[in-house]
């Protein structure tokens, strides 16, 4: 008879996400994970397959929580400039918390790519969703005359995602929102 799982896998994934975010993939051992999650190694392997499986589950959890919240920020903005500003400032705030952990997905990209194709797929999916959401927002803003027609909305969206990724890397070097937020205003000048 198979044993029933004695721990909450969703809570375990959330806690693993925190550990991977704080320490990175390579610096987090299976022993670190089992201690942090309060589960045995056999339970970890039974639930997630291996460390890679738990890491991908943690990245998916990040995508469905933090990345999804970022997209909601875009949808809630009164106008394009306010929505983009709110998105960027909120991402800075999250990235500088806890001493400058940055963004889990950007950290994953810099630590695991190009070798880990499954991680690459998750990162590309999130960045693509961000770019698509920004493109939609900027297309609508261009139609309303809120932004300059100097650049195509797709190009502006790609620039903003690239800027955000650089900003998130910078947040690890300089985990100070007050130092990084003025850069957002510079980026917003691209909207015209």
pLDDT tens for 93-122 read 999 987 789 999 999 999 999 999 999 999
| Residue 93: predicted pLDDT | 93
What's the first-to-final CA gap in the chain, in angstroms? 66
| Alpha-carbon span 171 to 174, nearest angstrom | 5
Complete DSSP assignment for 34-93: HHHHT--HHHHHHHHSSHHHHHHHHHHHHIIIIIHHHHHHHHH-SSHHHHHHHHHHHHHH
| Residue 3: predicted pLDDT | 52
pTM summary value? 0.88
Give me the CATH topology for the region 57-191.
Tetracycline Repressor; domain 2 (1.10.357)
- The domain limits of the chain are 57-191
pLDDT tens for 146-178 read 999 899 999 999 999 999 999 999 999 999 999
Q: Give the H/E segment covering residue 97.
A: helix 80-100
The total number of residues written for the chain in this structure:
192
Give me 23's structure tokens.
């320490």
């Amino acid at each position: 008879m198979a044993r029933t799982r004695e721990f909450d896998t969703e809570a375990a994934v959330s806690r693993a996400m925190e550990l991977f975010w704080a320490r990175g993939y390579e610096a987090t051992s299976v022993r670190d994970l089992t201690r942090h999650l309060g589960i045995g190694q056999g339970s970890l392997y039974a639930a997630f397959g291996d460390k890679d499986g738990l890491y991908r589950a943690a990245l998916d959890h990040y995508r469905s929580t933090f990345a999804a919240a970022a997209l909601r920020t875009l949808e809630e903005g009164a106008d394009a400039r306010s929505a983009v500003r709110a998105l960027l400032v909120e991402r800075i705030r999250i990235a500088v918390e806890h001493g400058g952990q940055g963004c889990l997905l950007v950290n994953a990209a810099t630590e695991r790519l190009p070798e880990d194709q499954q991680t690459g797929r998750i990162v590309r999916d999130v960045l693509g969703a961000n770019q698509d959401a920004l493109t939609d927002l900027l297309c609508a803003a261009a139609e309303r005359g809120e932004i300059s027609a100097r650049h195509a909305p797709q190009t502006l969206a790609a620039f903003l995602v690239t800027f955000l990724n650089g900003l998130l890397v910078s947040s690890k070097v300089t985990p100070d929102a007050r130092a990084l937020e003025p850069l957002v205003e510079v980026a917003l000048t691209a909207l015209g």
